[in-house]
Structure formats: C-alpha cells, structure tokens
Amino acid sequence: MPRMCVARDQLMSVAEKLVHQRGFRATSVNDVLAEAGVTKGALYHYFPGKDDLEMAVLERAGAAFLKCLDEVLAGPSPRECLEHFFASALKHHRKERFVGGCLFGNTALEMSDTNRRHAVYVEGIFDQWTNKIEAVTRAGQSAGQIRNDIGARDLAQTVVATIEGGIMLSRLGKNERPLRTCLESLRTFLWTRRMS
C-alpha cells in the first residue's frame, strides 16, 4: 500500500478511536496528529478541515457497520437471524468492556442539535439499520414467529431504540446487565407465544 494511503488510513483509524472514546467536540486535530504521528500537512492533504475528517470517519464506520449487520442478520429463520444479531451485539460490547458505546448513538446525542451534516448522515445509518431489522421482522411475521399485532416498521424501530438504550446504560455502568436485560425484554416483546 502506498505511504500516502497508509497515512490517510492511520489518520482515520486514530480519529475514529479518539472520537469513539471522547466525542467529536473533545477530540482536536492536534490530538489526532499526536496520536497518529503525522504532520498537519498530511491531514490537510486529505481533509480540508476537521469536519471533513469527522465525516470520513462516520462514513467508513457506517459502511463497516452496515456490512456487519448483513453478516449478523443471517440464519435459517427470521427468529434465528434476530437471535444471532442480539448475541452479536452483546458479544461486541462485552469485548469492548462497555467502553465507547455506539458511535452513531453517541454522535446523535452530541451533534444532532449543532452539526446538521453529521446528524443527517447518522439519521441515514439508523434508517438503514431499521430497514434491515424491518425486513427480518416482516419475514418473521409471515412465518408466524414474530407478533403481527404491531407493524413491522414499529417493531424494528423499537428494536433499534431498545438496543441503543441498553448500550448506553451498559456503558454508563460498565457492565452487561442493562444490555442483556434489554435484549431479553425484546425477546419477550417480539416472539409469538407459540414460539416461546
């Protein structure tokens, strides 16, 4: 890989790590440069400003997240797809020791009132996430595995919102119980009685 590409990837990886830990406002360009070991000229060669670097970080993380969703929402039945997704979410945050939380949830809370560009992008990620859950949920309703007295879109939004809340509370307390409890509650909420 050419040296310049390495510098760009390095800048983005460092920026993503710092932003995930501290947030966008608390992460300065100088923080990124010091951690990455590159010059300001290298940064501005790729990114005209801090906002552009932040958007590149969000876009790269978004593409990786959506690809991961496609992988974890896999299984022989809709219910098993969601079970695999739930287990993967808990496993991922357990591995991270509940540090950092969800980059997109963090960004929504931090930037939605102050940076429209960031907010619009993150809103799109949440919308795509919800679409993917909705498709599985609709298939589960057709198969009689998931309750059908509530629309698939509403169920999908409830799944996303509940998981985001669980991630936030587990991050706050640095333990898995809130997220695990939220996932158990989703199972109770989603599955039809005969599938229990």
CATH topology of domain 51-195: Tetracycline Repressor; domain 2 (1.10.357)
pTM score, whole prediction: 0.92
Q: What does the angle CA 181 – CA 16 – CA 175 come to, to the nearest 5 degrees?
A: 20
Which of the four pLDDT bands, split at 50, 70 and 90, describes residue 39? confident
CATH 3.40.640.10 fits 1-47, yes or no: no
């809130």: which residue's tokens?
178
The residue extents of the domains of the chain are 1-47, 51-195
The residue-averaged pLDDT of 174-179 equals 97
Q: DSSP of 180-192, one letter per residue?
A: HHHHHHHHHHHB-
Closest CA to 88 of 70, 105, 109: 70
At 167 the three-state DSSP class reads helix
* Distance between CA atoms of residues 98 and 96, nearest Å: 5
Pair 98, 170: CB distance under 8 Å: yes
Which residues does residue 191 pair with via DSSP β-bridges, in sequence order? Answer: 146
Query: By C-alpha distance, which of 161, 157, 164, 102 is closest to 130?
Result: 157
Angle formed at CA 92 by CA 6 and CA 72, multiple of 5 degrees: 90
CA 188 from chain centre, in angstroms, equals: 23
User: Which pLDDT score, from 0 to 100, does residue 42 have?
Assistant: 86
Backbone angles phi, psi at 192, to 5 degrees: -70, 155
SS3 77: coil
Average pLDDT score over residue span 148-172: 98
Rg (CA), the chain: 19
Q: Tell me, rounded to whole angstroms, the distance of Cα 37 from its chain centroid.
A: 28
* Pairwise CA distance, residues 16 & 109, whole Å: 17
Looking at residue 6, its pLDDT comes to 57
Q: What is the pLDDT of residues 51-73, one digit of tens each?
A: 999 999 999 999 999 999 999 99
C-alpha 96: how far from chain center:
13
